[in-house]
Amino acid sequence: MPVTVAGTYVLAIDPGNASTPSARITLSSGIPLEANGSSARFQSMAPGDWAFVSVDASQAGMGMGIRDLVTSDDREVKIEVYPWDQWAVVSTCEARYQGCDLDLAKQNNRYGVLVRPDSYTRLMDFTLTLSSDQQATLRRDEPVEVTLPRKGQNAVYSFAGKAGERLGLSVAGQALQPDTATVSYSVVKPDGGILLIPNTDAFRTGFVHNLNLPANGTYKIFVDPTVGVAARSRLTLSTGTAPGVVADGPAASFETTLPGQGIYLTASSVATALKLSLRNLELSSGTEIRIVAYQPSNNSGYTGYACKLVDGGCDLNLAKSASGLWAIAILPTDAEQAMRFKATLTTVPALARARDALHGTAIAAAGAVR
């Protein structure tokens, strides 16, 4: 409870039904815990004991990790977070995950955090860690190594964007401890709303996703490992032009080296239709890779394109009818798959488009792989 006025306070105890209860009463100033300092361990002295932490939140952006959680009956504990002079926010921390994390994102003078068993007979044992969010600027086409060794720690990466800009968000080589957890990568718009929370369930090692920026301003990528785990990965904000694939230019070579690593390309089809060709395809495992093409007019991705090893590659036709800047994500089909290939981008003359149509190779706005 926040003490807002100096003076003497009285705790009134009123047993109901003329009972004669016994209890141990503790007035706690909180477990000492400093941001980026040493961890603190809590062990119940008696069944039903709770832990209280008072957190100095004069700086915005901190994460608290509750790790190595053990309870006497392998059940959860309740977490009550009290922002200064506000109602509590209640969440659950489960013993089966051995902990959880709390995001103390707002500058709020002081937080009170109460950890209590959900049963008066339950004992609990855990370690608390408090960390400041890592803060950095993300530059286009310059990968950064995300390293969050302190459990419960988050990272915030900022970049300036323009309305209508198209970029790729890529994560590769992600490793977690324990590896059953996940990481959330939330892209926050300049107005504070959420632009994107990519689905990271398919592969825990990485992903590639397209971003269509709706406004001018500063965007933030909030990296939040779940259940208080330690995490590392490589994060890239891609323009799609760095790989050097240009219309009617020479072939560009690609090779991935990290688990979950994909490739993000952009191509303009304003003047004519285009064909993206992948050749000399080699894979470390599996029989195919997947291609997602994002149309210029929206963020819809067409995910049915399989580029097969047995064919040595594939072709992707980008129709003139959907003119503008296409975005293409080339993705592995398993968590550890590495790929190598050469790519070219060629203009498709009207006569060739008509010939393909006569032979049954439709070049639709969604594109086609053959």
The sheet with strand 252-255 has its strands ordered as: 252-255, 339-348, 273-283, 314-318
Cβ 37 vs Cβ 120: under 8 Å: no
DSSP 8-state secondary structure symbol assigned to residue 165: -
134-238 in CATH: which number?
A: 2.60.120.380
Phi first, then psi, for residue 34 (nearest 5°) are -115, 145
Overall CATH class of domain 40-132 = mainly beta
Q: What is the pLDDT of residues 128-154, one digit of tens each?
A: 999 999 999 999 999 999 999 998 999
Every domain of the chain with CATH number 2.60.120.260 lies at 252-358
Q: How far is 233 from 208, CA to CA, in rounded Å? A: 13
- CATH 2.60.120.380 in the chain is located at 40-132, 134-238
Per-residue pLDDT of the chain (370 residues; tens, 9 = 90+): 667 788 998 888 888 887 888 877 888 888 888 889 999 999 999 999 999 998 887 777 889 999 999 999 988 999 988 876 666 788 889 888 888 988 887 666 678 899 999 888 999 999 999 999 999 999 999 999 999 999 899 999 999 999 999 999 999 998 887 777 788 899 999 999 999 887 665 557 888 989 999 999 999 999 998 887 888 999 999 999 888 888 888 999 999 999 989 999 998 876 678 889 999 999 999 999 999 888 887 666 565 689 999 999 999 888 765 567 889 999 999 888 999 999 999 988 754 444 444 333 333 333 333 3
Report how far Cα 194 is from the mean position of its chain's Cα atoms.
12
Which residues are paired to 170 by β-bridges? 208, 236
For 148, the 3-state DSSP assignment is: strand
Q: How far apart are CA 26 and CA 132, in angstroms?
A: 30
Backbone angles phi, psi at 43, to 5 degrees: -130, 130
Q: Write the CB contacts of 7 (distance below 8 Å, at least 6 apart in sequence).
A: none
- C-alpha neighbours within 13 Å on the C-beta side of residue 153: 22
CATH class of 252-358: mainly beta
Residue 25 has phi, psi (to 5 degrees) of -110, 130
The pair of three-digit structure tokens given for residue 146, joined into one six-digit string: 């995300």
pLDDT digits (tens, 9 = 90+) for 8-20: 988 888 888 878 8
Q: How many helices (H) and strands (E) does the chain have?
A: 1, 25
What pLDDT sits at residue 320? 64
